[in-house]
């Protein structure tokens, strides 16, 4: 069984981004870039399914500029068998990425597609669900447990107020939540091995997809700053302030 995993190159989660003074975006020149953490969990899950023997091949896909090759190499160092880059310098929005992935799903015919639930840059939380809709596949978003059988997959999902479990017919789309697994550290020998793995490059035109953005970003601004308040010396003062000044208890 083939599994396709989508990975996005984003500003590293430890970097505190700064809004550009001209309001056109955030400054990502010279900041550390990494694989979106939820996507790392997706790759890890796919590789674990392969290690369990239910999956035979894991294909990692990334959409973006040439530097996304690094992200694909990381996915291959975790254990993906090969990579596909859909290369473009156009700003890619979730609908466009979902269409590119749909074209690759048609081409590769995977039984399972695993994506992160959201990217930590645009925080959109859309691509997996959009792909599922475009490909007419069932979906299980926010997965915290995946049990794969030959013709179906059972997924425990994080929902408001608890967990729910769904069974999907294959092929199916899964998006990952944080508790699904803890991705392994990639080792140097695996990084070296990953460099030799196959990496194919396509353009959106090759896949017949129009990736023109549909949302126009008019400006990007700093969020309103919340000022620090006061330090209180003891619990008694705190209670007094909450009762008589803030009037919230």
Partner 1 sequence: MTALVIAEHDHASIKPATLNTVTAALACGGDVHILVAGANAAEAAKAAAQIAGVSKVIAADSASLAENLAENVAAQVLAIAANYSHILFPSTANGKNVAPRVAAKLDVAQISDITLVVSPDTFERPIYAGNAIATVQSTDATKVITVRTTGFDAAAATGGSAAIETAEGVADSGKSSFVGREVTKSERPELTAAKIIVSGGRALGSAEKFTEVMAPLADKLNAGLGASRAAVDAGYAPNDWQVGQTGKIVAPQLYIAAGISGAIQHLAGMKDSKVIVAINKDEEAPIFSVADYGLVADLFTAVPELVRSLD
Distance separating alpha carbons of residues 83 and 111, to the nearest angstrom = 17
Binders of partner 1 among 84-103, rule CB under 8 A?
93-95, 98
Pairing outcome for strands 139-148 and 112-116: unpaired
CB 68 within 8 A of CB 45: no
Binders of partner 1 among 22-81, rule CB under 8 A?
26
- The residue among 196 and 234 lying less far from partner 1, judged by its C-beta, is 234
- Could you say which of 53, 123, 151, 185 contacts partner 1 (CB under 8 A)? 123
CA 130 to chain centre: 13
- Could you say which of 11, 60, 100, 211 contacts partner 1 (CB under 8 A)? 11
- The residue among 196 and 216 lying less far from partner 1, judged by its C-beta, is 216
Binders of partner 1 among 176-235, rule CB under 8 A?
177-179, 213-223, 226, 228-232, 234-235
Nearest approach, Cβ of residue 215 and partner 1 (Å): 5
Distance separating alpha carbons of residues 24 and 29, to the nearest angstrom = 13
Binders of partner 1 among 131-170, rule CB under 8 A?
131-134, 137-142, 144, 154, 157-169
- Could you say which of 2, 145, 197, 241 contacts partner 1 (CB under 8 A)? 241
Distances (CA, A) of 95 to 6, 48, 87, 109, 189: 14, 29, 16, 20, 37
Distance separating alpha carbons of residues 37 and 223, to the nearest angstrom = 24
């Amino acid at each position: 069984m083939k599994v396709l995993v989508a990975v996005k190159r984003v500003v590293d989660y430890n970097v505190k981004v700064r809004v550009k003074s001209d309001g056109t975006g955030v400054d990502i020149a010279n900041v550390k870039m990494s694989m979106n953490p939820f996507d790392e969990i997706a790759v890890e899950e796919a590789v674990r399914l392969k290690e369990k023997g239910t999956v035979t091949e894991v294909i990692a896909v990334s959409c973006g500029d040439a530097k996304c090759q690094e992200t694909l190499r990381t996915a291959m160092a975790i254990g993906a068998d090969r990579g596909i880059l859909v290369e473009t310098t156009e700003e890619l929005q979730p609908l466009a990425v979902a269409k590119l992935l749909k074209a690759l799903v048609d081409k590769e015919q995977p039984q399972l597609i695993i994506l992160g639930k959201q990217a930590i840059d645009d925080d959109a939380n859309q691509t997996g669900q959009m792909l599922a809709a475009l490909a007419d596949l069932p979906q299980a978003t926010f997965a915290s447990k995946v049990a794969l059988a030959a013709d179906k997959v059972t997924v425990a999902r994080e929902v408001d107020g608890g967990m729910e479990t769904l069974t999907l017919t294959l092929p199916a789309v899964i998006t990952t939540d944080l508790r699904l697994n803890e991705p392994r550290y990639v080792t140097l020998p695996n990084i070296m091995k990953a460099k030799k793995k196959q990496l194919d490059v396509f353009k959106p035109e090759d896949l017949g997809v129009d990736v023109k953005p549909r949302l126009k970003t008019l400006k990007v601004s700093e969020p309103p700053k919340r000022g620090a308040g006061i330090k209180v010396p003891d619990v008694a003062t705190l209670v007094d302030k909450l009762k008589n000044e803030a009037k919230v208890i």
